[in-house]
Amino acid sequence: MVLSELKKQVDFLCDNGHGDNPVLVTLSEASIGSRAATGITGIHSGIDWERGQVRISTEKKIISYGKDRDEVIEPRREDYNIGSRTRHLFICSKCENQLRKDDNYCSHCGQRVKK
């Protein structure tokens, strides 16, 4: 998208009663309820290597650390001895939340996990 197209869309929204609504950037991370998003803190023209671009700054960092959610990762296994029995817990390697035995995806972060 180029800036003039963005301006057309913003003008249309403002002209149709959305001028006082917050502006959010939709994130691709998993969320429950409305889509995950972050606010915009500013917009400016690029400098140096970014000259000729328009840059938008966001409240949250938009970064992917390591693995993509669709890439299957190995969950971490923790064994606990309870008397003469051993209990196995599976932990999502990405967000550290507990997985259920038959989960294909982490219910917290959406990461795909190996069974």
Q: Where are the domains of the chain?
A: 3-58, 65-115
* Banded pLDDT at 109 (limits 50, 70, 90): confident
Tokens matching residue 86: 């051993």
Give tens-digit pLDDT for 45-76. Answer: 988 888 889 999 998 877 655 556 678 888 99
Query: What residues have CB less than 8 Å from 114, skipping those under 6 apart?
Result: 72, 73, 74, 75
Integer Cα distance of 13 and 43 in angstroms: 18
Once rounded to an integer, what is the mean pLDDT over residues 2-25? 94
pLDDT at 5: 93
Q: Mean pLDDT for the chain? A: 86
**pTM for the complete prediction?**
0.50
Residue environment code for 29-41, b if the CB has 16+ CB neighbours within 10 A, otherwise e: ebeeeeeebeeee
